Amino acid sequence: MARITASAYTSHIPAIGAALDLGKTHEPYWQPVFRGYEFSRQWLKDHRPDVIFLVFNDHATAFSLDMIPTFAIGTAAEFQPADEGWGPRPVPKVIGHPELASHIAQSVIQQDFDLTIVNKMDVDHGLTVPLSLMCGAQDPVNGAWPCPVIPFAVNVVQYPVPSGQRCFNLGQAIRRAVESFDADLNVQIWGTGGMSHQLQGPRAGLINKEFDSAFLDQLIAEPAALAKKPHIDYVREAGSEGIELVMWLIARGAMTDVAGGKPPHVAHRFYHVPASNTAVGHLILENS
Ligand code: DHB
Ligand code: FE
């Protein structure tokens, strides 16, 4: 049987991708950001998964106002890095896992979540920056990401967005789906986006350290209570793009303590302000 062994959470700031791709990681501005991921890169080597189920949001790259799926699962064999206006990032293509993705789609839809099945999708910084942060810079020609990735896109860009509660419940359904896959696979689930930030309007530049710190505390210790936080609280307190944080509740809902197991082990916690226009938050939780 497949099982989820750990969850990881990280911001996805596009300027981090540019800093990596342009060799700026040692500049004083970026040094403290990348230092926070040194542990994680070694951890990923030591805890190499067979598959990463990567919860992210598309930023009007693969989708647009023409079509707005709330939850979309990538079932393709591969996904190309998207051209977000400056050319695609020079990173390897993402190899999918069609068998596991199709099984999860079947199981989660039968558990009453309406997923959109996506057989063709380019992936933007929402997915490639978390991979770069956790895996390090990759040579686009000779390099490859360490394992297949199932992209799972959540609409947090165009209202209406899903609630934290629905995301948390969905994570539980994803755990059950993974555990009913008949192959011995080590699966990690990653929740990405956040932390507090607002890119637009009169409050552009908003960062709320107190909110972020309380969110991390609660995500670790009281995720079921955190799931009850209404979407409007994210927008008011963490900024209009702070709503990306509901995606972290999908990954958290997939951990075994939510189904009556032991609390997870906090392998790593990191927080830094600023990076571009946002606060960087990062956690690694291992199932006990
Ligand atoms: C920034 C952050 C985001 O989450 C995003 O999608 C785009 C830009 C920023 O901080 O600049
Ligand atoms: Fe974003």
What domains can you pick out in the chain, each with its CATH number? 3-286 (3.40.830.10)
Sign of CA dihedral 185, 260, 230, 9: negative
* pTM of the shown model: 0.98
| Local confidence pLDDT in tens for the 288 residues of the chain | 999 999 999 999 999 999 999 999 999 999 999 999 999 999 999 999 999 999 999 999 999 999 999 999 999 999 999 999 999 999 999 999 999 999 999 999 999 999 999 999 999 999 999 999 999 888 887 889 999 999 999 999 999 999 999 999 999 999 999 999 999 999 999 999 999 999 999 999 999 999 999 999 999 999 999 999 999 999 999 999 999 999 999 999 999 999 999 999 999 999 999 999 999 999 999 999
**Residue 194 and residue 238: Cα distance in Å, rounded?**
9
- CA of 222 from ligand 2 middle (Å) equals 25
The residues that are catalytic are 125, 197
- How open is the CA angle 151-275-61, to the nearest 5 degrees? 35
Given this model, what pLDDT does residue 155 score?
A: 98
- Of the chain, the end-to-end C-alpha distance in Å amounts to 17
Q: Answer whether the bond into residue 274 is a cis peptide, omega within 30°.
A: yes
Closest approach atom of ligand 1 to CA 277: 10
Given this model, what pLDDT does residue 142 score?
A: 83
Residues in the chain: 288
**Residue 240 and residue 152: Cα distance in Å, rounded?**
21
Given this model, what pLDDT does residue 276 score?
A: 96
Given this model, what pLDDT does residue 137 score?
A: 83
- CA of 112 from ligand 1 middle (Å) equals 32
The closest residue, in CA terms, to atom 5 on ligand 1 is 13
Q: At 88, which amino acid appears?
A: P
**Residue 171 and residue 148: Cα distance in Å, rounded?**
19
The closest residue, in CA terms, to atom 3 on ligand 1 is 13
Given this model, what pLDDT does residue 141 score?
A: 78
**Residue 73 and residue 149: Cα distance in Å, rounded?**
11
**Residue 157 and residue 65: Cα distance in Å, rounded?**
10
Q: Answer whether the bond into residue 195 is a cis peptide, omega within 30°.
A: yes
181 close to 1: Cβ distance less than 8 angstroms: yes
Select from 9, 12, 13 the residue to mutate for testing ligand 1; criterion: most ligand atoms less than 8 Å from CB: 13
Instruction: Identify the H or E element spanning 85.
Output: none
Closest approach atom of ligand 1 to CA 59: 6
